[in-house]
Amino acid sequence: MLHDVRLDDRYDLSKSTVILSGTQAVVRLMLMQKARDEKQGLNTAGYVTGYRGSPVGAIDQQFVRAEKFLKPRDIRFEPGLNEDIAATALWGSQQAEMRGEGRYDGVFGIWYGKGPGVDRSGDAFRHANSAGTSKHGGVLALMGDDHAAESSTVPHQSEFALMDAMMPILNPAGVQEILDYGLYGFALSRYCGCWVGIKAVHDNVESTAIVDASPERIKIKYPSDFKMPPGGLNIRPRDDRFEQEERMHTYKRFAATAFARANQLDRIIFSGGEKARTGIISTGKSYLDVRQALDDLGIDEAASERLGLRLAKVAMVWPLDPQFVEDFADGLDLIIVVEEKRSLIETQIREQLFDASTHPQVIGKKDEDGGHLFAAFRTLEPNGIAIAIAERLLKKNRDRAVEERLKEIKKTMAAVRNAPDLAVRVPYFCSGCPHNSSTVVPEGGRAYAGIGCHWMAQMVPGRRTEGSTQMGGEGANWIGEAPFSKRGHIFQNLGDGTYNHSGILAIRAAIASGVNITYKILYNDAVAMTGGQPHEGALSVPQIARQVRAEGVERIALVSDEPHKYPASADFPDYMTFHHRDDLDAVQ
Ligand SMILES: Cc1ncc(C[n+]2csc(CCOP(=O)(O)OP(=O)(O)O)c2C)c(N)n1
Ligand code: SF4
């Protein structure tokens, strides 16, 4: 008999086997945590806030769609104006019950943001994480990292930013682990008083899987080898900054590793048998690449014993549990660390094994002779990983089966390298897109691009638009360039979403510095590039005009294909002019 399967099953907690995308898993995670708390007799609420951007661009839309499931469960979704304001709001949610004024026993929350949003939230993260989380609350920071910069102006790896704020980080390998690490993450956050980072890459958060999503799936164990200090590790009123610092370095990070150990978050997948000499350690998406590489080499658990190969999967990439590293390294003479981007696990392993009387050689970013092995830039892929592993295994044992597979992989790689691209397509605006005509620059003019769909103006031949900044920095680069440039004026494109997020400050700075600049605020009434979300707080054209006039902008011209749609009563500031888009060149 066929199962009765419905779309709404994904948020139905009575169903345990469901199909979920990574973003839907984040929604379900909130419902699961609420149900778990209820079972413990806790009256908690949930709070989700952040700012959109790939690969967590669709999180907000999923939460809006799921409102009918969330609201009755006291889970509130609130898109942030920008990432750091959202992080600060989430910090506030942890304070809600701290002074005895709370309506709930605690608030568990999720912050989400793209890598650049992680970067700009550093100050908020450091303050909030120093203050801590509430005992029955807990915070996850879903950091969206676009390793391949498929939809970003810079490739991103956010672990170091979170580490800098002393936030433990979990790296899920797929949708199931978004749920599992999410539940562990809330418990960890409550236990050690830290915000907990969850790595989101498009391979986990934008994939879909059939998962076991029963709220009771995870049984949390509390460490017996960690002694809680008097007063615990959670947020408190009138906390002292030096006590926060001491608490962080003396207890919180060690509470995190003890929790990871007690719950066996980091795992040895293949022991490699009695004679294990080579170890591979990896995490998240790279772990999946390693499994693919081993599959391609025909190495399963039985073969790993034959080859003396141990395989470990790390869940908590920072701080790495030293006990786990010691157990993993025991008896090995070579450790291969497979991780994308900069070395995070590798440096910690080196540091932890440095004082051991004998320790294995550790390779990863560098090979045995100091040459490059796994690049710290772009992404890794299973073929390259398979070759690196096989060559090292074959140095130790002759193995016909692995030799044959390696030969095949090398042959395939050579064929792919030599194959020409089938087609190359330069991205372009949708047909009818207003940015297509509004980004035109007059003869002799030059423009800087802004973040958003209109960034593609740089790809339009002859548009004389080149160079951009981070989101919200639009035009601020001209403040530093203008005094040293022979050019007297620049155009700066600025999307309305970006204006609302942070760009208005750049305009204020440009006015304060007195540089000659024309901002083209490209109003399409949406944050288009991330899915067409509405502006936080709604933002109208007259409102923007009044705001920039209040900032001190003297000359404001409105250019539209339908200028008549703004009636005289629309409350525009005085001395503004109104033009048809056909007259854009003359206006500029
Ligand atoms: C700090 C930061 N947060 C989020 C993003 C992701 N992001 C890229 S474009 C964009 C939307 C910009 O919207 P808008 O300025 O209205 O331009 P449009 O796409 O509508 O043309 C966002 C949120 C980013 N690049 N940087
Ligand atoms: S999504 Fe909207 S703003 Fe972006 S290119 Fe298409 S029409 Fe233009």
pLDDT digits (tens, 9 = 90+) for 136-149: 999 999 999 999 99
Q: Is the pLDDT of residue 159 over 80?
A: yes
Distance CA 507, CA 174 (A): 42
Residue with the nearest Cα to atom 7 of ligand 1?
53
* pLDDT score of 70 more than 90: yes
Distance CA 400, CA 396 (A): 13
Ligand 2 atom, smallest distance to 524 CA: 3
State the pLDDT confidence band at 524, using cuts at 50, 70 and 90: very high
From the CA of 55, how far away is ligand 2's center (Å)? 18
The mean pLDDT of 195-207, rounded to a whole number, is 97
How far, in Å, is the centroid of ligand 1 from the Cα of 83?
12
- For residue 144, the ligand closest to its alpha carbon is 1
Checking if the pLDDT of 519 tops 90, the result is yes
Q: How far is the CA of 31 from the centre of ligand 2 (A)?
A: 34
Q: Which residues pair with 533 in a beta bridge?
A: 527
Question: What pLDDT is attached to residue 569?
Answer: 80
Check: CATH 3.90.79.10 for 267-418? no
- DSSP line for 155-212: ----HHHHHHTT--EE--SSHHHHHHHHHHHHHHHHHH-S-EEEEE-HHHHT-EEEEE
Residue in 22, 7, 13, 34 with CA at minimum distance from that of residue 214: 13
Write out the CATH class of domain 7-262: alpha beta
Residue 1 in this model has a pLDDT that exceeds 80: no
Residue 31 in this model has a pLDDT that exceeds 80: yes
Q: d(Cα 178, Cα 29) in Å, to the nearest integer?
A: 8
Residues within a 6 A CB radius of ligand 1: 51-53, 83, 114, 116-117, 120, 451-454, 471, 495-498, 524, 526-530
- CA dihedral (280, 281, 284, 290) in degrees, to 10, reads 0
ipTM: 0.99
Which of 529, 535, 536 for mutating ligand 1's site (highest number of atoms within 8 Å of CB)?
A: 529
Closest ligand 1 atom to Cα of 451: 9
CA distances, 355 to each of 87, 258, 323, 334, 340 (Å): 39, 21, 14, 17, 26
pLDDT of amino acid 128: 98
- What φ, ψ does residue 94 adopt, rounded to 5°? -75, -15
- Contacts of 326 by beta carbon, 8 Å cutoff, 6+ apart: 352, 353, 356
Bridge partners, 335 (sequence order): 279, 362
Tokens of 266: 């980091």
CA distance 442 to 444: 6
Ligand 1 pocket check: which of 436, 448, 471 to mutate, most ligand atoms within 8 Å of Cβ? 471
Can you give the residue ranges of every domain in the chain? 7-262, 267-418, 438-587
Superfamily of domain 438-587: Thiamin diphosphate (ThDP)-binding fold, Pyr/PP domains (3.40.50.970)
Residue found by looking up tokens 């030096």 in the block: 242
358 pLDDT band, cuts 50/70/90, is confident
**Predicted pLDDT of residue 7:** 84
Tens digits of residue pLDDT in 416-434: 888 888 888 899 999 999 9
Q: What is the three-class DSSP state of 123? A: helix
Bridge partners (DSSP) listed for residue 200: 144
Taking the alpha carbons at both ends of the chain, their separation in whole angstroms is 69
Residue 2 clears pLDDT 80, i.e. is over it: no
CB atoms within 10 A of CB 516: 11
**Residue pLDDT, tens place only, 384-422:** 999 999 999 999 989 999 999 999 999 999 998 888 888
Give the Cα separation of 186 and 36 in Å (integer): 11
Write the residue with the smallest CA distance to atom 5 of ligand 1.
53
Least confident of 332-336, 371-375, 473-477, 562-566: 562-566
Ligand 2 centroid to residue 104 C-alpha, Å: 42
**Distance from Cα 529 to the centre of ligand 2, integer Å:** 7
- Tens-digit pLDDT profile for residues 272-295: 999 999 999 999 999 999 999 999
Strands (E) located in 33-128: 44-50, 75-77, 106-114
Q: What is the pLDDT of residue 560?
A: 96
Q: Which atom number of ligand 1 is nearest to the Cα of residue 120?
A: 1
User: What's the 177 CA to ligand 1 centre distance in angstroms?
Assistant: 28
| Centroid of ligand 2 to alpha carbon of 340 (angstroms) | 32
Q: How many CB atoms lie within 10 A of CB 402?
A: 22
Task: Please check whether the two domains, 7-262 and 267-418, share a CATH topology.
Answer: yes
Quote the tokens at residue 261. 């150990």
Copy the structure tokens of residue 171. 């790296």
Q: Say how far apart CA 112 and CA 326 lie, in whole Å.
A: 34
